[in-house]
Amino acid sequence: MNFVIFDDEKRSNFFPIALTRSTGDLRVGILKLRQRISSYLELSETSVIVSSELEAIYKERHKDWKVNEVTNDDTTFINSRIKFDTKAKKAIIALRADECLTKSETVLAAKCIPYKKKITSENIYSIFSDLKRIENPKINCWEYLWEFVEENAEYIKRDFNDVFYDRDNYFETELGTTVINPYNVWIGAGTTIKPGVVIDATDGPVVLDENVTIMPNAVIIGPAYIGKGSTIKIGAKIYEGTSIGPMCKIGGEVDETIFQGYSNKQHDGFLGHSYLGEWVNLGAGTNNSDLKNNYKTVSVYFYPDKKEMDSQNQFVGTFIGDHSKTGINSTINTGTVIGVGCNLFGSGMINKHISSFKYGSGSETKEYLLEKFIETAKIVKKRRGLLFSESEKVLYSKIHKQVF
């Protein structure tokens, strides 16, 4: 039996973070959505259906994956947006040939022999059109970016129990380190924890993945996850509900926030109830608001409707796409959405929605020229020993053309 994890037409619900990646590669808790599905089903191979815009970059980065390719064999297709758990697993495994599991108009999963060899997320539903539909209202899907932030603490707990709890734990700390509830702490190989660090796992697990560095006097309150190779700076305050992906450098105060990976917030400043993509850099003293002064729910720019919608949440910070930067002392308003490839600075508040490839202050921006963006992106990635590839150039060029 082949298993394929597919994106559907709602990928745009998760822009700007999903402008540059599959929905299945969005992080919530410790794992990405795709990783959680693969873990529950114990999949040894990765086969994905992504949008045509992402196909080239995924084939380049993941040469051992099957990307937008299927064979004429029994195949189970699984929607990457599923909030995957044992209930969803049981329902999917129970599918018979030529059946699809649905919730309203959404196809959650399907089992069939695909007769199209070339499939993308744009035409994925065409292979499900003749299947017998089995409605299952008990299985939920992710619908909006702010849901990830809202439920992140709970998913850190789930992933700790499901994935990390029984793994080899390299629990070892320096003298002067304080660990509260050590049975709720998992430390990966090569991780260094300096004196003065406080890890408080009273209210949820703390996972420090492999080769993490926690510098002196940092405080981490669980549930929290620090990804491989990341560094927590001196005196940092990492509050519950925070997930930090690989190769990040994080300082200051961070509360209920998700970093996809490879992003920096090295200095003092507050970041709360937010979701940041990769290669984001927040300048020293950057602060965001995550609560309105009138304590009402926060409206957020929603890409599919091209206008703001009520998130129904009282706490919402900022959502920042890949390769966007803020200058020193930047101020980001409640519920602000910043696209990819932005370079923002100045004393003006960064307010509500900044489309991709904008350059300037929060109140006065102009086009960030593609050539200038690529020049900077090459330098940024080279500092981590990586290249800005031709397929990345093509993808960001397409996004730039859609904006201008």
Q: Is the backbone peptide bond immediately before 223 cis, with ω within 30 degrees of 0? A: yes
Q: What is the C-alpha separation between 373 and 390, in angstroms, rounded?
A: 14
pLDDT at 16: 98
pLDDT at 120: 95
Secondary structure letter of residue 161 according to DSSP: I
pLDDT at 61: 94
Q: What is the C-alpha separation between 387 and 11, in angstroms, rounded?
A: 26
Beta strands in 262-390 (DSSP E): 264-265, 270-272, 275-278, 281-282, 287-288, 299-302, 307-310, 318-320, 325-326, 331-332, 336-338, 343-344, 353-354, 358-360, 365-367
Note the Cα 200 to chain centre separation in Å. Answer: 24
pLDDT at 391: 95
* Closest C-alpha to 358, from 340, 337, 335: 340
pLDDT at 167: 75
How crowded is the C-beta side of 304, counted as CA atoms within 13 Å?
11
The neighbour count for residue 324, using CB atoms within 10 Å, is: 26
Q: What is the C-alpha separation between 293 and 315, in angstroms, rounded?
A: 11
Q: What is the C-alpha separation between 199 and 193, in angstroms, rounded?
A: 10
Tokens representing 230 are 């990341």
pLDDT at 199: 97
pLDDT at 181: 95
pLDDT at 351: 87
Q: Which domains does the chain have, with CATH numbers?
A: 2-142 (3.90.550.10), 144-266 (2.160.10.10), 271-404 (2.160.10.10)
pLDDT at 338: 98
Q: Please name the amino acid found at residue 52.
A: S
Q: What is the C-alpha separation between 61 and 187, in angstroms, rounded?
A: 28
- The mean pLDDT values, 10 residues at a time, for the chain of 404 residues are 94 98 98 97 94 96 94 93 96 96 96 87 92 94 98 97 79 81 94 96 97 97 98 98 98 98 97 98 98 97 97 98 97 98 93 95 90 96 94 97 87
pLDDT at 154: 98
pLDDT at 1: 78
